[in-house]
Structures are given as structure tokens and as C-alpha cells.
Amino acid sequence: MMNDRQLDKLLELRKKTVLRFSKDEKKFAEEFFAKIDPPAPHRFPFLRCAAILLILIGVAAAFCLPLLRQPHLNWNKYNKISEAVRLFGGDAAVIFFDNELITGEREAAGVPSNLVTISLWTGTQKLDLSLACSDNDSIYLDDGIYSGDVVVSRPDATTLVLDLELKIDGKMVRTVIPAVRRVGNRYEADIIS
Amino acid sequence: MEDRDEHYRNVFAELIREKLGLFRSIAARIVNTAADADDVVQAALLKAWIRRKSFKSDSAALSGWVCRIVVTESYDFLRKRLHEERKRNEMPEREFHDDSDLVKLDRAIAELPELYRETVHIAILSGLPGEEAARQLGCSPNTLYQRIYKAKSLLREILRRVDDE
């Protein structure tokens, strides 16, 4: 059984426990204050968010506006004629009547620089023509179903005038139409014959 | 508001400067490693900081309160550590199967009611002079001596029981 003296001795022994602390008082205090210091408050968070939002809207608008200004084009038609030109070369005349490709001859030398699409209404029927031509060009067709010629001239920088005299499936189409530039070298015309 | 916090920062900076040794020595005798003792003291100071406004200008009361938090935090830390060790099945019950007298003493102190446990750590083991210890514990020297007497008799009883086991 433990008496007072023995207990005091034991407590004295316990008191002598000495540990070495690696951190000095300054470092300890720094760690403590680092824990209690709240993160720096965000000043004007609302204004900051609004500014970021405005910048994003501006950037989006800068990207979208040219697209909005750009007319809606059926790129497929232009791609189709462009590919035909690439395949048949500059000397041949290429015209699509809807999806049917007809080749003929053309007068101007060199690769045709303009791609033209024409929506041609003959009565209740609509026919999509796509062709490639130079600024001043003549295209001759002599196919069984499609024949005739297209004469192209340029009156100004944004217009091509097409003089069509075509026989389509036995029907004669004679008209002079302006094709208006839409984007780059792509022209479009819409006529009722 | 910022001025008040600046005031409390100064109070805590002074508390750390003057009493860190005491806080560390109390914690170290319970948790047994310097690193753990530092963690415990940091946790105790954080608790005190959260309730800093309760101690308007009474720095002695603040210091005594932190001492008592250090004791409680240290035992909480010890309990968690033992629980984790048992969960991992590493050295289960190590603290209580060791035969050394000091370990038996630690166990006996841990079993004391909170008031007497604080008395043992703050008034006996920390080595503070009697009056200073009484100030830290927020009581008169006479009350403190009575508590020390009672704490020692409880310790003897527990140690006797431990010996019998």
C-alpha cells in the first residue's frame, strides 16, 4: 500500500518529465495566428462577378457577331461545286442541276474564281443550279437533257450578271439575273422564270 | 470590430509569450510527446480564441481557463489515440498493462474527477508556486490546498485498487 511519502515521490518523479520542443515560442505563435486569421475578404465580390460576366458576354459577342451578320448559306451547295471544280480542273465547265452534275465547256481560261448558286423557279417546280465561273465567262452545255449556255459578266464588285439560255428537259429558260455576293467568292441568285 | 480583434491578438500573443511553457508542460505530462503536446496546446488556444469575448480584460482568468482546457484536451487526445490504437489492434491496452509506477500513476490521475485531475496537473505537476496555481485555478490558496489533499487521497485509493487488480 502506498503512503503519502511514496506518492509524493512518485509525483515528484512525474514532475521531472522533460520534453524538448522543436518549435520556439515565436514559431508556435505564428502557427497559432495563421490558424485564427481568416482568409482575406473578397472585396466587392458582386462587382467582380459582374465585371467577369460582362467580359464573357463581350467575348462571346465578338465571336458571334460575324456569324450573325453572315447570311445563312447552304454551304453544302458551294462545297459540292467547289469539289467538282477541283476534280474536273479549270478548263471544264461544271454545273449542278439539283444533284445532277453536268459538264461542258467554258471560254475563260484558268480556274473559275466564283461559285454561284441559283434557285430557279419554273412554274411550280424549283431547280437548284450551282456553277463555277470567272468574272467574264461563257459556259456551254450540250447534254441530252440539259443544253444551252450561260454568259457571265461582272458589273461591279459585289454582283455577277448571268445571262441564261438553257434548255432543261425540253423546256427553254431564258433570263438575265444578277447574282449577289454573300460571302467571299460565293454568289447567290433567286429567280422566277 | 477590427480594433477589438487586434486587442485580443495582443492578449493572446502575450499569453503565448508568458504561459506557453506552462501549457506545454501540462500537456506533455499527459500526452508524453512534444509534438502531441504542441497540437493539444494549439487546440486549447483555438478554443479559447473562439470564446475570447468572454474574457474582456481578465488575462489571469484567461490563462487559468486555457490551463484547464489544456488538461481536458490532453485527455481527449489520449482517449482518441488509445481508441485508434485499439481499433488498429496495435499494442492494445498498452498504457494499462505496463507495470511501471509512473504508468500506474498516469492511469490513476486519468481516473480522477475533472476538478482533481486539473488540480494535480496545474497545482502539483506543473511546478507552479501555490499562489500562482490558485490564481490559475480560480480559487483561494486555502481551497487549493484542500483540493490537493483530496486529490492525493483519491490517487492513493485508485493506486491501491490498481495494485490489487
Domain with CATH 1.10.10.10 in chain B: 93-165
Residue A39 to chain B, least CA–CA distance (Å): 14
- The DSSP H or E segment spanning A132 is strand A125-133
Walk along chain A (193 residues) in steps of 10 and give the mean pLDDT of each run: 82 83 88 80 71 87 68 74 84 86 85 87 80 89 85 88 85 86 88 66
Looking at residue B40, its amino acid is: V
* Distance between CA atoms of residues B41 and A25, nearest Å: 12
The sign of the CA dihedral A103, A109, A113, A117 is: negative
- CATH fit for domain B1-90, picks 1.10.150.110, 1.10.640.10, 1.20.120.1200, 1.10.1740.10: 1.10.1740.10
Domain with CATH 1.10.1740.10 in chain B: 1-90
Pairing type for strands A186-192 and A114-122 reads parallel
A11 contact residues in B (CB cutoff 8 A): 105, 120, 124-125
Cα A146 to Cα A78, A89, A126, A177, B69, distances in angstroms: 20, 21, 15, 19, 101
Instruction: Kindly give the confidence (pLDDT) of every residue in chain B, 165 residues in length, as a single tens digit, with 9 standing for 90 and above.
Output: 566 778 888 889 999 999 999 999 999 988 888 899 999 999 999 998 888 877 766 667 888 889 999 999 999 998 888 888 777 765 544 444 445 788 888 889 999 999 999 999 999 998 889 999 998 888 999 999 999 999 999 999 999 888 777
Nearest CA in chain B to A38: B5
B22 close to A (CB below 8 A): no
Tell me which residue in A7, A15, A19 faces B156 most closely, judged by beta carbons.
A7
Q: Residue A25 gets which letter from DSSP?
A: H
**Smallest Cα–Cα separation from B41: which of B61, B21, B11?**
B21
- What number is the ipTM of this complex? 0.78
Nearest CA in chain B to A19: B34
> Contact A15/B125, CB-based, under 8 Å?
yes
A1 contact residues in B (CB cutoff 8 A): 160, 163
A28 contact residues in B (CB cutoff 8 A): 16, 20, 38, 41-42
Interface of A with B (CB under 8 A): 1-2, 4, 7, 10-11, 13-15, 17, 19-23, 25, 28-29, 31-33, 35-36
Nearest CA in chain B to A10: B102
Cα A138 to Cα A112, A113, A131, A154, B158, distances in angstroms: 11, 13, 12, 12, 118
- Reported CATH class of domain B93-165: mainly alpha
> Contact A4/B33, CB-based, under 8 Å?
no
**Smallest Cα–Cα separation from B142: which of B152, B155, B130, B153?**
B130
B49 close to A (CB below 8 A): yes
Question: Are the C-beta atoms of A106 and A92 separated by less than 8 Å?
Answer: yes
